[in-house]
A and B are shown apart, each in its own frame.
Chain A
Amino acid sequence: MISPNRQIHSEDLPQVEELVFLPLETKYRTVMLISRCTFLLVLAMGLTGFLISGLFVVSTLLKYALIAALILFSIWSFFYISMAFRHKNYALREKDIVYRTGWLWRTMTTAPFCRVQHVSIDQGPIERQFGLARLRIFTAGGNTSDLTIPGLKPQRANELKEFIVKKTGIDEEE
């Protein structure tokens, strides 16, 4: 039988867990909250329309259940966002960049610089208001695997971009 815990690899390789992870800008939590609020507002409007239009026969019990579900979902969302924000952080190393995200379902993505295709900096309308930017790092690994670090100061994002571009030696694609 195979013992799953047998050591198979040398220990002196660089260890990710020893890294000091840097948090995102606190303002980014507000951005997350605002965009979630917008979504909830749309949802609430949809629900109101659904309830008062009279197109569907809805029992009083179901009506209250729906409203209660929406309220509970909103509270949960706000709680979740503040928890999720704390679990979003990144670390820069000499040869790769690591981004962690997720409170319950955690993901840690690592992109080695030698595989980076290009780097871009994006700013959504809400992010612009708060003076934040997001750094996107593209590899050939497909859309699902691209690494996006939100909630950075534009200056920091630029520094990171410069750093990565210098490391990769790629021509910057505009």
Chain B
Amino acid sequence: MKRSDAELGQPMRQSYAAIILITYKLYKVLFRQFFPLIIIFFLGGSMGKKGNLFYMVIAIALLGFIYSVIAFFKYFFFLKNDKLIVHKGVFKRSVLEIPFDRIQSINFEQNLIHRLFGVVKLNMDTAGSSTTELQLNALDRNLAKQLSDHILSNKSSESEATIEDTASSHQKEKKVIFHLTIPQLLKVGVTANHLRSGGLIIFFFFWIWDNVRELGMDLEEKLKEEIPTGIELLQSSLILFTILIVLFVVTAFLISLIRTVLKFYNLHMYRKGEGFIIESGLLSRKEQAAKDEKIQLLSWSQNLLQKLSSIYELRMKQASSVAVSDRGSIHVAGLYESDIHLTRKYLFKANEQEFDEMAFYGVDKYFRFRRFYYWTLFLVPLCCFFGYNGQWSLLIGFSFLYIVGMVGSHLAFVKKKYAVTENLIMIMGGVWGHNATVMLTHKIQNMAMMASPFQRRRELASLTIFTAAGSITIPDIPQVICLRLKNKFLYSVENSTLAWM
């Protein structure tokens, strides 16, 4: 249903699907809060108690539902005088007034429930830390589109150029930069960081363990009773141990594969006006927008597996009203080098040719020495200890770890490079893989030059450059150069008329 602009001025509610979504959200919060209790409920307790608990759950669920319905009917919004006005609150009524100018970007999101009802969730990112960002849980797709177009085209932004940009950009066609096909998606899944999934599994088990123990259920005791020789069994039976390891690896692999597919399914990266739009997701579809001026850091990386299949991951870190978090970061995976170049070309425009002129400098040998030193300090005594005690398997394990650490330190040193051109700063690094981060000098917020006593003895210093979306560090470079770089950056920040956001 298409509404006239006048109708957008009338108070309206979200789509009825919002009731379900609000309820769902509320239940999710409740579930998270009472998760340990639910485990207990399933694990044990007398029947009578179980019955009581059951009624309590029903009662809470009902109350939650009623609350959600009231919240839905009390929530309405309309547009008036270039402002979005929202009335909300069940117990405490509140009115939110958001001038269009303050709205930085509007993102659409659809999870499974949204798609079932053909609605979208609207996330509005507002500038300034005083107002939190606004979410409209469920809006009819057409209405959402109309609303966002209306808001963005009626922004009377600070500079006239921006008005034109925003106005025209919304008529402009989206240009596809990158599309992730199914085979590529699988490639991304296979080459994902499986160590992280492994860590996730371990973390999850510890979390459950902790929660259960906190509630006074001594699982350790129970385990000891039921498998009296659990630990000894593990040590003696190599087969069981191997099976466990294989199971762990397979699970980790599957988890990262599934996570990747869920997150990056049908990923599209578009160029629209002066910004990027990224759509992705299998169950919950997400549409993120990033305007060029808001992007502070652009980085791309490859882990070892990705290097073998020559695909990259790309991250754009945006300045956001919420403190630096993953929310403001846009993540795209499975790109080829040419896609990175294309993105770079769009984002840096005229400055892109500076990439060709870049001269890369390495950091001081102290960077490697410090890493060598720490690995030696921690692992060599440990290895000696195991050797002395005759624990050969541990000795071999830790010696191997030591060698890996030393090789890694050397690789990290070799790969750490930085380049500075007139308008760009680029830092490369990585241990087994590769990563690179680029930023425009005028997006610098402030800088810190740091030197430890050890660095000073070698006349070295590190330069940390802070942006509105995180920081980058050029480590262990000669003090003289560090100062010069700092002055150069200061000079370009202080004489730049370009806005950092």
Contact = CB atoms under 8 A, between A and B. Distances in A.
Interface of A: 2, 4-6, 8-10, 13-17, 95-96, 104-115, 139-145, 147
Contact of B494 (A16, A17, A112): A112
A16 B487 CA distance: 7
Interface stretch (B147-155, B160-168, B223-231, B445-453): B445-453
B344 interface: no
A142 B466 contact: yes
Given A141-B467, A142-B471, A145-B471, A110 B450 contact: no
A94 to B, nearest CB: 9
The 3 A-B pairs of least Cβ separation, nearest first, read A141-B466, A141-B445, A145-B466
A110 B486 contact: yes
Given A4-B481, A142-B471, A112 B466 contact: no
Contacts of A6: 361
Contact of B362 (A4, A104, A139, A142): A4
A140 B445 contact: yes
B323 to A, nearest CB: 7
B270 to A, nearest CB: 27
Interface string B202-228: 000000000000000000000000000
B446 A110 contact: yes
A13 B319 CA distance: 29
Given A15-B487, A104-B452, A107-B449, A4 B361 contact: yes
Contacts of A109: 446-449
A110 B449 CA distance: 8
A140 B444 CA distance: 9
B468 interface: yes
Given A14-B491, A142-B324, A147-B446, 10 more contacts: A4-B363, A8-B420, A13-B490, A16-B483, A110-B490, A115-B445, A140-B500, A141-B471, A142-B470, A143-B323
Given A9-B488, A142-B323, A95 B483 contact: no
A115 B470 contact: no
A15 B483 contact: yes
Contacts of B486: 16, 110
Contacts of A104: 452-453
Contact of B448 (A17, A108, A143): A108
A112 B446 contact: yes
B103 interface: no
28 contacts: A2-B360, A2-B362, A4-B364, A5-B480, A9-B420, A13-B487, A13-B490, A15-B483, A17-B483, A106-B450, A106-B451, A107-B449, A107-B450, A108-B448, A109-B449, A110-B447, A112-B444, A112-B490, A112-B494, A113-B494, A115-B493, A115-B500, A141-B466, A142-B324, A144-B471, A145-B446, A145-B466, A145-B471
B484 interface: yes
A108 B449 contact: yes
B483 A139 contact: no
A111 B446 contact: yes
Could you tell me the dominant secondary structure of chain B's interface residues? mixed
B456 interface: yes
B12 interface: no
B476 to A, nearest CB: 10
Interface in B36-67: none
Interface residues of B, number: 43
Contacts of A8: 359, 361, 420, 481, 484
B477 interface: yes
B407 to A, nearest CB: 21
A4 B450 CA distance: 18
Contacts of A107: 448-450
Nearest to B487: A13
Interface string B438-476: 000000111111111100100000001011101100000
Which of the listed residues A14, A15, A108 has the most CB atoms from chain B within 10 Å of its own CB?
Answer: A108
Contacts of B464: 145
B488 A105 contact: no
Nearest to B477: A4
A142 to B, nearest CB: 6
B446 A13 contact: no
B361 A141 contact: no
Contacts of A115: 444-446, 493, 500
Given A96-B490, A106-B451, A143-B323, A9 B485 contact: yes
A143 to B, nearest CB: 7
B429 interface: no
Most chain B beta-carbon contacts within 10 A, residue among A4, A14, A114, A140: A140
B478 interface: yes
A42 B141 CA distance: 60
Contacts of A13: 484, 487-488, 490-491
Nearest to A106: B451
A111 B452 CA distance: 21
Given A14-B487, A106-B456, A109-B448, A139 B466 contact: yes
Interface in B94-110: none
A115 B490 CA distance: 11
B472 to A, nearest CB: 11
Nearest to A17: B483
A91 to B, nearest CB: 13
A107 B480 CA distance: 15
A14 B470 CA distance: 26
A96 B486 CA distance: 12
B326 to A, nearest CB: 14
B500 to A, nearest CB: 7
B223 to A, nearest CB: 29
Most buried by B among A96, A110, A139, A141: A141
B214 to A, nearest CB: 23
Contacts of A17: 483
